[in-house]
Structure 1
Amino acid sequence: TWGLLPGDTVRYFARAVDNSPAEQISTTREYVLFMPIASELQRAAEEQLEATAERLEELAAEAARQAEENRNLAREAAAQREIEESSATDEQGRPDFEERQDLQRALEDQGQLTDQVDSLQAELAELERIMEEAGQSDPELARDLKELQELLQQLNDSDLQERMDELAQSLEEDDLQRANESLDQLSQQQEDFRERLEESLERFRRAAVEQDFRATTREAEELARQERALADAMREEDDPDLRPRQQAELKDRAEDLDSRMERLEERLLELDEREASVGVNQAQQSMQQAQAEMGEAQEKATQGQNQEAGEEADQAAAAMEQASKELQAALDDMAQQQSEAMQGALEQTADDALSLARRQSELGEEMRGASQEQVANMRGEEASLLQGVENMASSLQEEGDGAFSGNPALAAQMGQAMESIENTIQAMGGRRGSMPSPYAQAEQTVGELNRLALMAIASAEQMGQAQQQSGENAAEQLEQLAQEQGEVMNQTGQLMPMELGQQAMAQQMQELAAGQESIASDLGDLAEQPGSDDETLGDLEQMAQEAEALAQAMVEGRLTPETVRRQERLFHRLLDAGRSLEREEFSEERESEEPGAFERGEIMPLTPDQLGALRYQLPDSDQLQRLSPAVRQLVIQYFERLNRGGVEPGGRR
């Protein structure tokens, strides 16, 4: 590889010389390749997220169109077959080949939608890789990208693929009637697909705004550092003609950033993040003060008043540092509030699930001894429980900022609870003996709701523990050190194009050396932990020594291309070491181990109630029909008492 860093410029052209005596030469025009600086990479990530959100919006509209079109096709085919079956004539509808073409096109259209979702997922994975390799993947961005990739993966769920496979198989077997039935089912799955797309769309829009916030903060930090370096260079008076131009360029970037901050403030208001919006507004005022100071510095530098220009540039740098601190504080506060809101939503979900479980238990007790008609009349109350779970899911999704996207197990349990309530409603209206009793099904629903409450509580506790324990394991520490090394590497790369004088460069290198020294110290501490070298890829002690050597070179003010390349190599070694801890390694070689001491416990068989089955089946419908209504009711109640109370036949307990 070329070993290019953010901010590097490559100029290249091609020259061809033929083999004739005259040696004719042809040369292409010169091309210039600019490597984006750190803030530009952050902006690229924001633009990628915004573009993905726009494409998801288009996919949602297309999914809605396809679902409606497929429903109409299925209804039209069903109506046509009813006409053909009821008509005594041989009148035929549209030809089978046209119907087949429509079905095949519907299948292909849905296939294109799922392929586009897969393509978006691959693009996010590539963005994650690029940002990590460039040292720009901060923990928040990395977490967002992983979560969004999982969200896209969940869009193409197994039910949708199953309907597509059924339709494809029906077409292959030339069974148009079954194909149309599969198409109707596919249209229902497409509607669910559209709803999931719209839910994902909101999460992507928020992720884009959050990345805009992070990119704006990083750019303010970069400008402050470069303005501080320029102030030192102005006072050194080594190149008085270059400094005014550099100040003008930095001022233009500050004006662009001011416009971005104004737009960010509006976007935060759209997300109802009012406190964060106020914080951005305060930072914008500091940035405007910095612009005024930069204008003064440029004017004085142009007039040759270099010392005064340096003082103005220092004040501008201080104002921009204040702006970056205000942005970071607002960003941290917003993240903290989101985390607290998520935990609160999960805790509320647990409370609601327990409340619904208690109500379901009460309804189950009321079903005991009730007649079939009385149980059927209770279906409205059971339906209100289903509505309660649906409302609970919607509230968690909204108040918890897409809580299900990062917790598929919780989403699955929510779905199981809904399905169990639906089964209870069906059992309450069904014939006796054709399915589990309403009471048994209600008990199963109580269990599902209790499990949902436990999962919500565990998720809330896990969030709190994750915040307290962040960075405690070796993988997280190496990831953090790799990020810090990438930051030092990028800051060093930004200094090289500025053509600083010897004194100004030495001053900046002293500050960067402190960061490099901190990395060396942390690496040394990590290397001393027992077993650290056995688990990681690479010698941590050797990496600590390399970081120390780099810090020493920077203290001496030596900034050479070789120094930058060494920083880059250390950065990638830290990345590889962190990945080696995250990646589970499997071996095809079979290994045996001696069993250790263990306590043998008695395994009890599952009871029929635990299996969800009736212990004593009701007589079949023919036997019941031969009884009088009064006797039939007595028989049904007798079997219900047997199934719910464990009463032995004959009245013994």
Structure 2
Amino acid sequence: MPVASELQRAAQEQLEATAERLEELAAEAARQAKENRNLARQAAAQPEIEEARAGDKQDRLGFEERQDLQRALEDQEQLTDEVDSLRAELAELERMMEEAGQSNPELAKDLKELQELLEQLNDSDLQERMDELAQSLEEDDLQRANETLDQLSRQQEDFRDRLEESLARFRRAAVEQDFRATTREAEELARKERALADAMREEDDPDLRPRQQAELRDRAEDLESRMERLGERLTELDEREASAGVDQARKSTQQARVEMGEAQEKATQGRNQEAGQEADQAAAVMERASQELQAALDDMAQQQSEATQAALQQTADDALSLARRQSQLGERMRGASQEQVASMRGDEASLLQGVENMARSLQEATEGAFGGNPALAAQMGQAMESIESTIQAMGGRRGSMPSPYAQSEQTVGQLNRLALMAIASAEQMGQAQQQSGENAAEQLEQLAQEQGEVMNQTGQLMPMELGQQAMAQQMQELAAGQESIASDLGDLAEEPGSDETLGDLEQMAQEAEALAQAMVEGRLTPETVRRQERLFHRLLDAGRSLEREELSEERESEQPGVFERGEIMPLTPDQLGALRYQLPGPDQLQRLTPAVRQLVIQYFERLNRAGAEPGGTW
């Protein structure tokens, strides 16, 4: 199995490759949009009645048009297939990292968020235009196909815009993964240097140790170069504090490299005890470098989270302000003449501009991710559509469509709903850390990743050919981590519902305890590593079994109890009336936590109870 740092680095490289491919797709989408727009214009410029075409010429031109249209459809299908393929590759990367015990929460969150972004690229409007074009070609309706091609070119321009907007998020995700991989490499280098220091003092293989020290020194030099490049990339993202932290870690790594060179020289001269002391000092400095990297990474993540929460809160404030303005404008529409209402369309258009600015600001603050909430982005679009419908109603004839006032009230509801969703997203981000690990599935997932970490560290020791004393020292330290997993598993096995997992948690705890005991005794054999790996996969399977149970929609029937049939009273007209403000749909409600869902329901109940005074905001 590859070491942890290699897997982390592979994840970074795949994210970078995905970003590069998206950039190529954006350029290709722009080319196709331009080409299809030109084809549509050429077709529109031709006479509607093509009497000028006669005989073979007409057949030839019709064939050429059909070929051009078919090629345009196939080119767009290839683009959408490419996006789907990239999403599948990210899903496979997520699975691979989890299977290897390297799916830390930040990477897992990034991969899920990026998959959602790719899924949103192929929206329903684009697919609808493609289906219409395919149907027109099948029915041999070239006129309709050319009209659809013009619409498709506009959808392709939107597709290109969404690709370019997603690029920033993918590039940042790649830099963040570079940061995590570099931190992991520093941790591994510090551990190996510490183990080598113990081996040097043991003097069991004096010819091997100088070569091993030279290899670690070369790795430190490579790591310095990676840190320098990482610092530059962080500066490009305007993460100057994080860049300064990486630069400090680079200087520590440089110091560690110098001390590694001194340890190598003394080991070559046979001064093994002194070499061990130098290696110990190098390990201590390298540990400091890894801590500096981790601190800078944590600070950057915290600042980014706070910035996203602030952007979501600002979105809520802006949406509420726009809702109040919409309510006031709606009141002005009541009783106004058609001409007076039409004159207010400029005011309504300014509200649309306000929502567009709000969406742009949130998109820039979250780099296209909308706080990791696709439903929020969808609600933003619904609010814009509602305002556009209000503008249309304000310019239409009475009775031809919903009244401007009624449409204005719907817009108020959409803006209030947008504000509520933004507030809920901000609150969920703030509570995520406290809620993490509260349920059994999350605890098992965390324990699986901890077991994977112990497994990876154990695997790194085997190729070092440590002496008995050095190996015993390293195994003692690893045994503490294995013992902690055993203890946590034992506690989890005693919690209610633990028997619902796939596998016996108590038996897993006993296996973890037995592994810890073997490690305390300094026994590191291939069988020990295999047992660790089996335990890791059992923990993964147990966590997944609980996740599937939580997501299951299976219903169980129950025997009805005795009940009294009461008198059925007729409903009042009020009870038969439609709600003034409709609740969000079931799909939207199910995306929220139970607490936030209850808040949403109570909020709309209050709005509908106050329905006698229309147009209000909160």
Does the C-alpha gap of structure 1 residues 478 and 305 become closer, same or farther in structure 2, counting only changes over 3 Å? Answer: same
1:579 aligns with 2:544: yes
**Shift of residue 137 of structure 1?**
1.4
Provide the C-alpha distance between the structure 1 equivalents of 2:613 and 2:232, rounded to a whole number of angstroms. 63
| TM-score between the two structures when normalised by the length of structure 1 | 0.85
The 5 Å alignment of 1:87-236 reads: 95-236=61-202
Correspondence for 2:472: 506
Whether 2:531 is the aligned partner of 1:560: answer no
Aligned residues: 578
Letter in 2 for 1:605: L
In structure 2, relative to structure 1, the CA distance for the partners of 1:371 and 1:188 (3 Å cut) is same
| TM-score between both structures, scaled by the size of structure 2 | 0.90
How far apart, CA to CA, are the structure 1 residues paired with 2:478 and 2:5?
18
Distance in structure 1 (CA, Å) of the matches to 2:536 and 2:97: 13
CA apart distance, 1:401: 3.5
Residue number among 357, 364, 377 corresponding to 2:323 in the alignment: 357
Spell out the pairing of 1:411-490 with structure 2 (5 A cutoff).
Answer: 411-490=377-456
Are positions 1:544 and 2:509 aligned together?
Answer: yes
User: Which whole-Å CA distance do the structure 1 matches of 2:141 and 2:179 have between them?
Assistant: 55
1:606 to 550, 568, 577: 577
Cα 1:575–1:587 shift into 2, 3 Å: closer
Q: State the alpha-carbon separation in 2 of the partners of residues 597 and 360 from structure 1.
A: 52
RMSD: 2.4
Q: Deviations over 1:300-349 (max 9, x none)?
A: 11111101100000000000100000100111111111111111111100
- Matching residue's letter, 1:490: N
Superposition deviation, residue 440 in structure 1: 1.3
Task: Give the unaligned 5+ runs of structure 1.
Answer: 7-36, 612-643, 647-653
Distance 1:147 1:317 in 2: 37
- CA gap of 1:567–1:609, structure 2 versus 1, over 3 A, is closer
CA distance 1:540–1:511, shift in 2 (3 Å): same
Q: Distance in 2 between matches of 1:216 and 1:608?
A: 56
| Paired residues of 1:342 and 1:401 also in contact (CA < 8 A) | no
1:51-90 matches, within 5 Å, as 51-82=17-48, 84=50
1:263 aligns with 2:234: no
1:253 aligns with 2:224: no
Amino acid at match of 1:97: F
Name the amino acid aligned to 1:208: A
1:542 maps to a residue whose letter is Q
Q: List runs of 5+ in structure 2 lacking aligned partners.
A: 583-611
Q: Give 1:218 deviation, angstroms.
A: 0.4
Seen in structure 2, the aligned counterparts of structure 1 residues 645 and 253 have a Cα distance that, compared at 3 Å, is closer
Deviations 1:196-219 (A, max 9, x none): 111111111010000000000000
Aligned position for 2:606: none
Which of 496, 506, 510 lines up with 2:462 in the alignment? 496
The aligned residue for residue 595 of structure 2 is none
Residues 94, 438 of structure 1: alpha-carbon distance in 2 compared, 3 angstrom cutoff: farther
C-alpha displacement of 1:234: 0.3
Deviations 1:251-290 (A, max 9, x none): 0001001000000001011111111111111111111110
2:487 maps to which of 506, 517, 521 = 521
Q: Which moved more, 1:323-332 or 1:366-375?
A: 366-375
Structure whose alpha-carbon radius of gyration is higher: 1
Secondary structure of the corresponding residue to residue 95 of structure 1: helix
Structure 2 counterparts to residues 295-306 of structure 1, below 5 A: 295-306=261-272
- By how many angstroms is 1:368 displaced? 2.0
Q: Aligned with 2:46: secondary structure?
A: helix
Q: Deviations over 1:142-169 (max 9, x none)?
A: 1111111121111111111111111101
Offset of residue 587 of structure 1: 8.9
Deviates more, 1:195-204 or 1:583-592: 583-592
1:605: Cα distance to partner? 2.6
Mark the CA change 1:216 to 1:645 in structure 2 (over 3 Å): closer, same or farther.
Answer: closer
C-alpha displacement of 1:645: 10
Supply the AA of the counterpart residue of 2:575. Answer: M
The letter for the 2-side match of 1:110 is Q
Residue in structure 2 matched with residue 386 of structure 1 by the alignment = 352
Among all aligned residue pairs of Structure 1 and Structure 2, give the percentage whose two residues are the same amino acid: 87
The one-letter amino acid of 2:24's match is E
For 2:151, the aligned partner's letter is: Q
Residue identity opposite 2:443 in structure 1: Q
Tell whether 2:8 aligns with 1:42.
yes
The 1-side partners of 2:554 and 2:318 are apart by: 50
Greater CA deviation, 361-370 or 91-100? 91-100
Structure in which a larger fraction of residues adopt helix:
2
Contact 1:286/1:319, CA 8 A, preserved across alignment = yes
- What's the CA shift string for 1:334-370, capped at 9, x where partnerless? 1111111111111100000000000111111112222
Offset of residue 406 of structure 1: 2.1
Q: Name whichever of 252-261 and 192-201 sits farther off.
A: 192-201
